[in-house]
Structures are given as C-alpha cells and as structure tokens.
A and B are shown apart, each in its own frame.
Chain A
C-alpha cells in the first residue's frame, strides 16, 4: 500500500444563500495515495468542484464557510494553515488546472513568461533559470518547436495547446498533487485523448498524484484507479474503477453509467430506450434528513426518505451509502 498523501476528513462546506444555508459539501472523506489518480464524478451541483476549491483553500468566504473537518496534506491540516502558508502550498505542492483553457491564461503575457513567473514566485529562480525551466516544461508537455512557441501569446495557440500550457504551468514547481477540474470538457475528442496520455505519462514520470474531476465515466475509466461518486455534496459510493464500472451498487452510480449512450463496437439494430434518472438535483438548501437521492430513486422507501444512509464498506475499498445495499448485505 502506497503512503497516503492527502486526506480529507469529515469536510463540510456551507454557503449562505437567499433561501437559507446550502450544505454544498457534507461529511466528505477521501484519501489520495502518492502516485495514484483519483476520479471524482457527478453532475454539476454535486460538489465536485467545491471539493477541489476546498483543498486549494479557494472557497470564497463569504458567502462560503468551512463548517468542519480537516484536510491533511502529509499530516498538516491545510484548513488551519495561514494564508501565507497556503500561498506556498498552492502551485508548489498542490496545483490545479481548469476546464476552460481559453480564459485561464492571461492574454497579455507570453506563455513562457507565465510559466517562468510561477517558477520564480515559488522557487526564487533567476530570470534565466526560470526561462530555462519554462522551456523544459513546454518540451515535457509535448509542445512542438518549444523554443519558438515559448514567446507566443495564448491567442496564437489552439485549445489543446493552451491546455498543455496550463498543465506545464501547474507542474512547473513539481507539485505532489495535481487537481484537474474537467480538463478536457472544452476540447475535441482526439485532443482529449492526447491530454489524457500526457497526464498519465507525466504522472508515471514524476509521481504526481492526480485528482481528476469529471462527469464522464469514460474519462474516469481511462484515467483513474479509484473513483468517488458524489451526489448533492455527499459521497454516495467509492471504489476501484473496475468495481464501479462492473458492479456499481448505488442506484445513482448505476444511473450515471447507464443513462449515457456508450459507444460500442457492436451496435445492434435494436435500440432500447436509455435509462432515465428522472428530475433534477434537489436544491441544497432544502435537503431534509433522508437520502438526497431518494426523490429520484426508483427503489426509495420510507427509510430512505427519513434517514441519511451511512457509508458502509461492502468490500475491500468499496463503500456505498445506500439503505438498499445495507439491507442486502445484512440479509
């Protein structure tokens, strides 16, 4: 078993809204081992991006508030850390890449300049050394003719190239954790495949652990070793990626996998209707005491609507928060 690098314990994040307090994250527990890729899946509004922002210490306060829990990076509680310490952590030890490579780069500086700036800021490199580092990073992320392109500006590059630059920036200080928040949603599928290969390759070479946030089960399957499925700010299921795909236990996970028409090599003439998850994610301000998925769940009964199911391990490294599996295992 590899050593645990990052551990989130009982994290709770609340937001003040006009309609009351929204529990955007509740009772969240995850751990990330060195060198692994952890996938976080769910619909928008499930709290997956907020989890990333919490780890980065970037939850907007107010209206947000950390209502409890700990985020341990090598035993150090980041929630207790000073802002100065967090600035060191961000970029140096934990970096993040975002969905939109068009807007995450500053249009008025050359890309080399932006990567070098990160290195200078965190490691106090000289100008020449920082430039050299930027060049190395551009080569590492597979940008052709890096010597020339280092002086280009973001608008001169394609979306895929910009995302590579973002990755180069994020990895410039050799962080131990890289958070990728829907890194390929804005990209074409052939370019997405290249970015996945790049991330996997970089992970193998540098040992950087990756938290991959996405709504695409296919992307999770390609990238992650372990998966956390989130719904309405809570973890409903977590397991090895193969277990999740072959034996999903939570009705929401099952729905998430089966409601998408997956590409198959052997299409049949018959096309049965897709499984639908009816309704929408409930407002986080009015969740009630029961399972948040109960209103959309075809198996829900009185207990589901009344009580929040606890997360119970059903196997090595496979935990589910559902009364249904709870009762099945007991029987």
Chain B
C-alpha cells in the first residue's frame, strides 16, 4: 500500500525549477468541505435557521406570546402557516422566535463546554503526573453524575434564566471534550516537533497554545459542532420539563406546553420537533463535513 501513497507529487526537488505553488490551508479546507454534499446541505439548513432567528423578528415585529386566534387551528387555517397552539399563539412565529433562544442557549452551552473541557484536558494531557490524576478524577466525578438530573438541580437551585440553563448544560457536558483534548495533548506532546519547539527555547505557554493547540483543535472543533446539537436537545428537554425561563419562547417549551394535545393537534408538537430535528441534524452533518475537511489524508487524494 505504501507504494501507492508515496506517489503523490512532491513539489520541487532541489535540482529542478518548477513553479512554487502555495495553496493556503484555508482554501483547501473550504474545497474539501464543499466536496461533502451532505455537509453543504447541513450548512445551508443551519444558515437558514440562524438567518431566520436573527432577522425574522426584526422584519416581523410580532410577539410570539400574543394570542392571535382560536387555539389549536390546523396548519393554514385562519392564515396561520403552521396553525396555532393551545393558547391560540401562531406556531410559525413561535418557532421563529424559539430559534433565537435555542441557538443562543445551544451556542453558549457549547462554548462553555469547550472552554472548560479544553482547559482541563490540555492541562491534564500536557503536564501529566499528579495534575492529570487530579483533573481526571474530577472529570470522572462529573461523568458519573446523571447529566439531566444535575442540570435540573442546577436550574432549580438558581433562577431558571437562559444564562443558568446554558451554564447548567455546559457544566454537565464538558467531560467528553476534556477527555478528547487530553488524549490529543498526550499524543501530540510526544511528537518530535514539540520536542523541537522546546529545544529551540519555547516556553510552556507557547508550546501549549501555539504549538500543540492548533494541531489538537480539528477533532475538538468537530466535537464542538456535535456539542451544539446535544446542547439544543438538552435545552429542549429542560424546557419540556418546564425548567426554563417562562418568559422566553423556545422549541422545547412549545412541545412541553402542548404535550396534552398530542393526539388532538399533533402538529403543535410535530413542527417544533421537526425544527429541533433539522437543527441537530444540520449540526451533525456540519461536524461530518469538518472531519473530512480537517483530514489531511483525504486532502491529498
């Protein structure tokens, strides 16, 4: 096999004069991502949802909590594209506004996850020894706690605001990122270019953040994309259980509010459900595309 792999052209031996061809890695990255059609579709859906969340409220200028019509109207009835819910609120408007909350909470929670997980994983993997022992025991402690229960307790203890929800989700889901980051750091710190950096006099901080981190990031970014999806599901679960800000419209809350009408008016639950499904699916497709784009082996083909 090695024979076939090594046949990729090497640009310029010392003797010959070929043109220097510098392709910026970001360009290659985009090209590789674009080759994965499912990932492009995922990105399209995601941009659509984010766009709707950001701009529709500015254009529509409606209150998602306003009771505009009779409750439980079917999709299309009374000029309501997706019908109305149990309180006569327009489902389409509610879903559009809900997207903001869902996205914000999902994004913030994923950000918190990444920051905690990266820091802990990087320290444990780079310094090893007792630092690793202590940090990994803490990680394991968080891993064995039932995440939903812990998040419920956190939200119930503090006020059920969006910030609390995002922090609660972040606090229960960073362990995976930490373990992944630790594994990457453990692997990369033994690479010779890290030894080379030390031998030319680079300090620890430089080695962690400028030498190892950029090489450790690709799998972590992929993981972060998936984490956004998981955080969205988490937020929906919490809202469904009534543990979110009652003054803010979210998809989970829509489903929770309408769960008693599941059999009479299934659309009230189906449409927010589809919104959650599409968002999480798009995140997962994007994660997939990023994996491909980051993989240098696929790039050389």
- B9–A48 CB distance below 8 A: no
The yes or no answer to B247 lying at the interface (CB within 8 A) is: no
Partner of B7, one of A48, A285, A295: A285
- A279–B9 CB distance below 8 A: no
Rounded to whole angstroms, the CA-CA distance of A144 and B272 in the bound complex is 69
Residues of B within 8 A of A103 (CB): none
- B301–A18 CB distance below 8 A: yes
Residues of A within 8 A of B10 (CB): 280, 283
Residues of A within 8 A of B4 (CB): 15, 22, 24, 50, 64
Residue of A nearest to B13 (CB): A279
- A53–B13 CB distance below 8 A: no
The yes or no answer to A207 lying at the interface (CB within 8 A) is: no
Residues of B within 8 A of A50 (CB): 3-4
Partner of B16, one of A15, A48, A279, A284: A279
- B9–A47 CB distance below 8 A: no
* A66 shortest CB reach to chain B, Å: 14
Rounded to whole angstroms, the CA-CA distance of A295 and B4 in the bound complex is 21
Residues of B within 8 A of A134 (CB): none
Rounded to whole angstroms, the CA-CA distance of A45 and B6 in the bound complex is 5
- B13–A48 CB distance below 8 A: no
The answer to whether A278 and B6 touch (CB under 8 A), given A18-B301, A53-B1, is no
- B3–A44 CB distance below 8 A: yes
- B16–A46 CB distance below 8 A: no
- A278–B7 CB distance below 8 A: no
* A286 shortest CB reach to chain B, Å: 7
1/0 per residue, CB under 8 A from B, across A18-53: the answer is: 110010100000000000000000001111111001
- A286–B7 CB distance below 8 A: no
The yes or no answer to B8 lying at the interface (CB within 8 A) is: yes
Interface centre among A53, A279, A295 (most CB of B within 10 A): A279
Rounded to whole angstroms, the CA-CA distance of A19 and B7 in the bound complex is 10
Residues of B within 8 A of A280 (CB): 10, 13
The yes or no answer to A82 lying at the interface (CB within 8 A) is: no
The yes or no answer to B199 lying at the interface (CB within 8 A) is: no
- A286–B9 CB distance below 8 A: yes
Residues of B within 8 A of A286 (CB): 9
User: Which residues of A from 1 to 21 have beta carbons under 8 Å from B?
Assistant: 15, 17-19
- B3–A22 CB distance below 8 A: no
* A54 shortest CB reach to chain B, Å: 11
1/0 per residue, CB under 8 A from B, across A253-291: the answer is: 000000000000000000000000011110111100000
Interchain pairs with CB closer than 8 A, number: 50
- B7–A17 CB distance below 8 A: yes
Residues of B within 8 A of A22 (CB): 4, 7
- B8–A47 CB distance below 8 A: no
Rounded to whole angstroms, the CA-CA distance of A60 and B5 in the bound complex is 12
* A256 shortest CB reach to chain B, Å: 16
Residue of A nearest to B299 (CB): A18
Rounded to whole angstroms, the CA-CA distance of A46 and B3 in the bound complex is 7
Residues of B within 8 A of A279 (CB): 13-16
Rounded to whole angstroms, the CA-CA distance of A286 and B16 in the bound complex is 15
- A48–B3 CB distance below 8 A: yes
* A59 shortest CB reach to chain B, Å: 9
User: Which residues of B from 1 to 28 have beta carbons under 8 Å from A?
Assistant: 1-4, 6-10, 13-16
Rounded to whole angstroms, the CA-CA distance of A137 and B37 in the bound complex is 52
Rounded to whole angstroms, the CA-CA distance of A283 and B3 in the bound complex is 11
Partner of B9, one of A19, A44, A49, A53: A19
Rounded to whole angstroms, the CA-CA distance of A43 and B14 in the bound complex is 18
Partner of A284, one of B7, B13, B14: B7
Residues of A within 8 A of B301 (CB): 17-18
- A45–B3 CB distance below 8 A: yes
The answer to whether A49 and B7 touch (CB under 8 A), given A278-B13, A278-B14, A295-B16, is no
Residues of B within 8 A of A283 (CB): 7-10
Residues of A within 8 A of B6 (CB): 44-45, 281
* B171 shortest CB reach to chain A, Å: 38
Residues of A within 8 A of B7 (CB): 15, 17, 22, 24, 45, 281, 283-285
Residue of A nearest to B8 (CB): A283
Rounded to whole angstroms, the CA-CA distance of A283 and B7 in the bound complex is 5
Residues of B within 8 A of A45 (CB): 3, 6-7
Residues of B within 8 A of A47 (CB): 3
- B15–A44 CB distance below 8 A: no
* A57 shortest CB reach to chain B, Å: 14
- B1–A49 CB distance below 8 A: yes
List A residues at the B interface (Cβ < 8 Å). Answer: 15, 17-19, 22, 24, 44-50, 53, 60, 64, 278-281, 283-286, 295
> Would you list 6 pairs from A and B whose C-beta atoms are within 8 A, ordered by A residue?
A17-B301, A46-B3, A50-B4, A53-B1, A281-B6, A284-B7
Given contact pairs A24-B4, A49-B1, A53-B1, a sample of 17 additional A-B residue pairs in the complex whose CB atoms are under 8 Å apart: A15-B4, A15-B7, A17-B7, A17-B8, A17-B301, A19-B8, A24-B3, A44-B2, A44-B6, A45-B6, A49-B2, A49-B3, A50-B3, A278-B13, A283-B7, A283-B8, A283-B10
